[in-house]
Amino acid sequence: MSVVTIASGKGGTGKTTVSVNLAWILSSLRPFYQKTALVELDLDLSNAATLFGAQLPDDTVFLNDYIAGKVPPEDVALVLGNRLYVALGRPGSTSWFDVKDVTHKIRDLVNYLVTERDVKAVILDAPAGVRGLLLPSLVLADSVYLVTSPVPQEFSAALAAYKMYRRLSNETGVEITIKGWILNRVGAQTRELTPRYVEEKSSAPVVATIRYSREMSNAQISGVPYAYLKWGTDDPVLKDFIRAVEALFGLRINYRPSARAREKKPRLSFSTLKSLLRR
Amino acid sequence: MHTIALPILASARKVAEGETPVSLFEGDEVPVIDHGIIEVHGIVVPYRGHGVVYVKDHKPTLASWYDATTAQVVRGHTALWEYVIDALATRGNRFCVYKLKKKEVVRVEEVFSQRFSMDVRNASTAVTPTPVQTEKTYTEDVFSLVEERKFTGEVLFQSSDDPKVSARLLVENGKIVGAKLLCGVEEAYHGNSALSVLYNFRRGNATLIAKDGVYVPSSMVVDDEIDVEVDAEVEVSEEDVLALKELKNLKG
């Protein structure tokens, strides 16, 4: 079992998009078929719910309610295709949360998913920047990856976050394992940083790069993960996401585009875990 | 000047008589040809013009490009790498493929090379000094390979992670100073972006051509001199430090 945190220096770098797509791919790939959980820790600025859009059931229970102690873990997890468990923050929430309380609750949720639901990989979608609610995703993760666009302004914020994590780790003795960078939206700008530059400035490796695609926003408007939309095709950005899964989870994936793969992908409709258990 | 390309195409049509020319448009797959000519009609700026590539034994052997904007003709290596391939990869441009029979190859090659173009290998001398050493190798990491060899010259790379991905790297003393990456005919990346995309496809076959120096076209320049401002001292809040210390026992 591995717990991976996807973090970034500022909002809008595509952190949630990356998390959602990695989680979907990991839970869909043969022969691995890893039971995967995506936990969105961006409790007050949640947007994963927006990315899944209209696919969410009307009676969706959000992570905010679980942390507030209103519901048990099985009520908060949504299930897609029997292999992807999703716990989402409530969009537009203004609730205040205690960092320690959130950490304990998320740890309990992860333990429940691992022990009771046999989840093999957990992706924690961290809040942007250096806010207090970031701490649970740093404490609970086996490895942390930072997402940034390879442009100076965004990398500047991401580098500040990277340095802060290192400093927090040094001052507290808590091991925060920053495994490397995911460069997102490569090719969108004319003046981009090179991976080598990013590595030299931070002494952490670039582990994956994901190209820019205009179609990404179409997928978001449709309320489906981009990887789902392009599954079974020869799409270059989908292949970048698959490479990222390989790099982050140490897998070797033999992905072959085919009409069969397009037809066989699971339907994108969520059920609440509670309703599945009741059945 | 622009008539230069036309006799070549006329020759190609003549020798291809009896065969149906294949016209391709954007989104189509490029056919693999043993022997023949690819004719490119550049419509989209900055690739307005005409070009031809002569293919022999699956390899581009001769090339020429007429740039309609500057009314100049470029030949051989420069025509192939700086114009024709980019024009092929640019949406909106059109191209035709004329397959030739093997016995017809010699004649076309003679016409092509004597009158209108230079052999690609010879043409490279117009751009850079004569290659001194060529080496082919398989590598798990093309970036490490380039750095370790500390050589100056050119790397032609074909990824094994994705057969659609190929790259041309210009190297000075083990440092990549120019880059271009192609993903089939639909996508091309230049300079810094090309290196970022190549990070995902770094395994494959590399041909290293050592040279005395390299000429880097402006579109391919790799720029590592971009400044990123970050405060030397990043502040962490005392509150976060205390909270994290208390959570220490949850780690693992």
- DSSP string for residues in B198-249: HGGG--EEEEEEE-S-----GGGB----------SS----HHHHHHHHHTGG
CB-based contact B5:B35 (threshold 8 Å) = no
pLDDT tens readout for residues B155-167: 999 999 888 899 9
**Rounded mean pLDDT, B122-146:** 67
| pLDDT for A124 | 94
Predicted confidence at residue B130, as pLDDT, reads 43
Query: Where is mean pLDDT largest: A10-14, B12-16, B196-200, B246-250?
Result: B196-200
State whether residue A196 sits within 8 Å of chain B by CB: yes
Which residues in chain B have their CB less than 8 angstroms from residue A107's CB?
A: 250
- To the nearest 10°, report the CA torsion of A173, A179, A185, A188: 90
B112 pLDDT tier (thresholds 50, 70, 90): low
Chain A, residues 138-157, CB within 8 A of chain B, namely 138-140, 150, 152, 155-156
DSSP A233: S
DSSP output for B73-130: EEEHHHIIIIIIHHHHHSTT-EEEEEE--HHHHHHHHHHIIIII--BHHHHHHHHSPP
Q: A13: closest CA among A151, A143, A124?
A: A151
> Please, which residues have CB within 8 angstroms of residue A213's CB and are 6 or more apart in sequence?
A226, A235, A236, A237
Task: Give the pair of three-digit tokens for residue A82.
Answer: 């029997």
- Each residue of A227-254: b (16+ CB within 10 Å) or e? bbbbbbeebbbbbbbbbbbbbbbeeebe
Q: Would you tell me the crossing angle of helices A236-249 and A15-28 to the nearest 10 degrees?
A: 80
More confident site: A199 or B57: A199
Instruction: Tell me what pLDDT residue B118 has.
Output: 39
Q: Using CB atoms, pick whichever of A104, A135, A152 lies closest to residue B244.
A: A135
Quick one: average pLDDT of B168-180? 93
Q: First-to-last CA distance in chain B?
A: 73
pLDDT of B108 reads 61
Q: What angle do CA B159, B131, B196 make, to 5 degrees?
A: 30
DSSP string covering A144-182: EEEEE-SSHHHHHHHHHHHHHHHHHHHHH-----EEEEE
- Cα separation of B69 and B80, whole Å? 17
pLDDT at residue B171, rounded to an integer: 94
Average pLDDT over residues B59-84: 79
CA distances from B207 to A149, B137, B138, B219 (A): 31, 6, 9, 22
Helix ranges (DSSP H) in A203-270: 215-222, 226-230, 236-249, 259-264
- A133 Rama class: left (phi>0) / alpha (psi -120 to 50) / beta: alpha
Structure tokens at B56: 């022999």
Nearest CB to B250; choose among A107, A193, A243: A107
Interface of B with A (CB under 8 A): 143, 161-162, 164, 183, 187, 189, 191-193, 195-197, 199-200, 222-224, 226-231, 234-237, 239-241, 243-248, 250-251
Residues from chain B that touch A99, judged by Cβ atoms under 8 A, are 243, 247
Is the pTM higher than 0.80? The answer reads no
The verdict on a CB contact (< 8 Å) between A192 and B245 is no
Mean pLDDT of B132-152: 87
Q: What is the pLDDT at residue B1?
A: 25
Round the average pLDDT of chain B to a whole number and report it. 72
Q: What is the pLDDT of residue A193?
A: 93
Encoding tokens for residue B144?
Answer: 């490490």
Strands B175-183 and B187-190: antiparallel
Residue B17 — very low, low, confident or very high, per pLDDT cuts 50/70/90? very low
User: What is the rounded distance in angstroms from the CA atom of residue B166 to the CA atom of residue B8?
Assistant: 28
Sheet holding A143-148, edge to edge: A206-211, A178-186, A143-148, A2-8, A121-125, A36-40, A84-87, A78-80, A270-272
Whether pLDDT at B21 is above 60? no
pLDDT score recorded for residue B16: 38
Rounded Cα gap, residues A35 and A156, in angstroms:
35
What pLDDT is stored for residue B132 in this prediction? 52
Q: What is the ipTM of this complex?
A: 0.81
Q: How far is it, in rounded angstroms, from Cα A218 to Cα A221?
A: 5
- pLDDT band at B117, cuts 50/70/90? very low
What is residue A183's predicted lDDT score, i.e. its pLDDT?
Answer: 96
Instruction: Give the per-residue pLDDT at B233.
Output: 65
Q: Mark A171-194 as b/e (b = at least 16 C-beta within 10 Å).
A: ebebebebbbbbbbbbbebeebbb
Report the percent of chain A where pLDDT is more than 90: 35
Q: Which residues of B196-207 are buried (b: 16+ CB within 10 A; e: fewer)?
A: bbbbbbbbbebe
Q: What is the mean pLDDT of residues B156-184?
A: 90
**Is pLDDT at B221 greater than 80 in this prediction?**
yes
Is pLDDT above 60 for B110? no
- Distance of alpha carbon B46 from alpha carbon B176, whole angstroms: 25
State the pLDDT at residue A133: 81
- Which one of A172, A176, A177 would you mutate to disrupt binding with B, by most B Cβ within 10 Å of its Cβ? A172
pLDDT at position B252: 56
Residue B123 has pLDDT above 50, yes or no: no
Burial of residue B21, with CB atoms counted within 10 A of its CB: 0-12 exposed, 13-18 middle, 19 or more buried? middle
Q: Output the pLDDT for position B25.
A: 40
Say yes or no to pLDDT of B2 above 60: no
What pLDDT was estimated at residue A46? 72
CA B181 vs. chain centroid, Å, equals: 6
**Assigned token pair, B121:** 């290998």
Which tens digit of pLDDT belongs to each residue from A1-20?
789 999 998 888 889 899 99
Q: Which of A273-277, B50-54, B198-202 has the highest mean pLDDT?
A: B198-202
Q: How confident is the model at residue B120 (pLDDT cuts 50, 70, 90)?
A: very low
Percent of chain B with pLDDT over 90: 17
User: Which value, to the nearest 10 degrees, does the dihedral of the CA atoms of residues A111, A114, A120, A124 take?
Assistant: -40
Q: Contact at 8 Å (CB) between A163 and B234?
A: yes
| Radius of gyration for the alpha carbons in chain A, expressed in angstroms and rounded | 18
Strand pairing category for A36-40 and A84-87: parallel
For residue B46, say if its preceding peptide bond is cis, omega within 30 degrees of 0.
yes
Distance CA B215, CA A65 (A): 62
Closest CA to B88 of B193, B187, B197, B22: B187
Contact A195/B189, CB-based, under 8 Å? no
Local structure of A208: helix, strand or coil: strand
Question: pLDDT at position A214, please?
Answer: 84
Under-50 pLDDT residues of chain A: none
Query: How far is it between the farthest Cα atoms of chain B?
Result: 83
Cα-trace Rg, chain B? 23
Which helix (H) or strand (E) element contains residue B59? Answer: strand B59-67
